[in-house]
Structures are given as C-alpha cells and as structure tokens.
Structure 1
Amino acid sequence: MVELIVFLVLMTLGYLVGQFAEKRHYKSIIEREKGLSELPTVASRFPPPGKRLDQCLVTGSTVISVDYFKRFIASLRNLFGGRVTSYETLLDRARRESLLRMKEQAKTMGAEYIFNVKYETASISKGSKNTIGSVEVLAYGTALLRPQDRS
C-alpha cells in the first residue's frame, strides 16, 4: 500500500513539474515568435522573384527529452489506441524551437527572407523497451542576404 502511495505521489509530482516546465517553454516560444515575426519564412523551393540577394544555409536544432509521465501516458495510449497527445506537444515544441533558432541565426546574418524551409526529425535515444527517450528536430532553409560590398 505504501509503495502505491509513493508511486502516485511521484507521478503527481512529475506531472505538475512537467506541466510547469512545458508551459514556461511555450511562453518563451510565443514571446520569441512575436519578436521574429518580421522575418518571412516559407517552404517554397524558389526565392521571391526580382530580388538580387546572396544566399546562405541556416539551421536550427533542438533536442527535447520525454519525461516519465509522458512516457507512462503514451504507453497507456498504446494499449487502447488513439492520438498520443503527450508526444504531439513534445514534437510541436521541438519544431517551433528549431524554427526559432534557425530564424535567430538568419537574423544575426542580416537575412531578409528564408525560403525552402525543411524539417528533419529523429529519435536520438531509446528508453526502456525501445520507447522514445529524446527527440531531435533540425530545421534548415536558405536565407537571402543583402549582397556584401566587395570593393
């Protein structure tokens, strides 16, 4: 009985701490997205016509680990089927963070536009019984920069 109470207390604590960390991360993402909203980012393979700009590859990478509570909920969801929303929020945060890091790199280079944006997602570590331990998302694209004065 004591073991069950300890398990439930630890699960509740893990849930609360995980929710707090996730909400804080989302708040940070939203604030940074507002600050970088003036830098257009599109998936189109071609740059906008009529602009003579230099091009440069920009990247942003993020690794986020799955907490124990999310892994527990996902394993329950595997028994019954359906959407695994605990992993959906994990991937959403990783994609948005990677895009922000890519845009921050482009902004420091003086980019005006980013096109041909792509994402790569990988599970980089496996937990017990081959469950997801951490996920990496790489965002990359081509930044258009003002031509450098080469005189």
Structure 2
Amino acid sequence: MLALGITLALLVIGYLFGRHAEQSHFERLREAEAQLQSLLMFSEKRIPPQFQPCEVKLVGGNTVIAVDYFKVMAAALRNFFGGRVAAYESLVERARRESIVRMKREAQALGASAVFNVRIETSSISKGAKEQQVSVEVYAYGTAVIPRHG
C-alpha cells in the first residue's frame, strides 16, 4: 500500500512539475516569436528580386527535448486504448517552435531580413525500454538573406 501511495505521489508531482515546465516553455516561445515576427520565413527555394542584391548564409536551429515520466505513462495508456497521443504532440510542437526561434535568432544576428528554403527535420534521439521514445530532436534550417547595400 505504501508503494502504491509513493508511486501515485511521484506521478502527481511529475505531472505538476512537467506541466509547469511545459507551460513556461510555451510562454517563452510566444515572447520570442513575437520579438522575431518581423524576420520573414519562406519555404520557397528561389530568392525573389526584391530581396536582391544580397548575401546568403546557411542558418539553423537545433532542439532536443526529453519526454517526462508522466508523458511516458500517458502515452502507454493511449497506446493501449488507441487514439491521439497529445502528450507527444506538445513535445514535438515545442521542439519545432524552439528550433525555428533559434534559426531566426541566428539569422537576425547576421543581419538577415528573411530566411528562404526553410526545412524542418525530426528524429528520435534515443530509445528506452521496449523501443519507447525518450527524446525528440528537431532541426530547422534555411538560407538567410542578408541585404547588401551599394
């Protein structure tokens, strides 16, 4: 009985801390996205004439986010009953948005006005017991367009 109580207490604590950390991360992402909103981002490969003459540089942002224990438990239950695994969806969304923010910050530091040919790659970084996903990596990259005056 004591072991069950400890397990439940740890699950509740893990859930509360994990949820707080996730909400804090989403808030920081919203602030960073608002600051970087003026830096345009396109999936188009060709740089249009209005951005030329310019210098171009490859920029990227990489993020690895580990799944917390509560999400592992929630995903295991969801796999048993079927349906969307919302716990992992938010994990991937946070990693994707963080990677884009990091890519845009790198472009901004170079003086870029836009990033073209934006691509996003995802992968599972590590596997736990029974091939269970433990963390996700997202890499966002593109071509920073730096205006050349003169």
Same fold (TM over 0.5): yes
Q: How does 1:8-87 map to 2 (within 5 A)?
A: 8-50=8-50, 51-87=52-88
Structure 1 residue 48: Cα displacement: 2.3
CA distance in 1, matches of 2:149, 2:133: 45
Structure 2 residue identity aligned to 1:100 = V
What is the SS of the residue equivalent to 1:38? coil
Structure 1 residue 135: Cα displacement: 0.7
What is the SS of the residue equivalent to 1:111? coil
Structure 1 residue 49: Cα displacement: 2.5
Structure 1 residue 52: Cα displacement: 1.6
What is the SS of the residue equivalent to 1:89? helix
Q: Which structure 2 segments of 5+ residues have no match?
A: none
What is the SS of the residue equivalent to 2:114? strand
What is the SS of the residue equivalent to 1:54? strand
CA distance in 2, matches of 1:93, 1:146: 31
CA distance in 1, matches of 2:35, 2:46: 25
The percentage of aligned residue pairs carrying the same residue is 48
CA distance in 1, matches of 2:135, 2:102: 18
Please say if residues 53 and 149 of structure 2, whose CA atoms lie closer than 8 Å, have aligned partners that are also in contact: no
Counterpart position of 2:106: 105
Structure 1 residue identity aligned to 2:85 = V
Q: Which structure 1 segments of 5+ residues have no match?
A: none
CA distance in 1, matches of 2:46, 2:88: 33
CA distance in 1, matches of 2:7, 2:74: 14
What is the SS of the residue equivalent to 1:101? helix
Q: Runs ≥4 in structure 1, deviation > 3 angstroms?
A: none
* Root-mean-square deviation (Å): 1.2
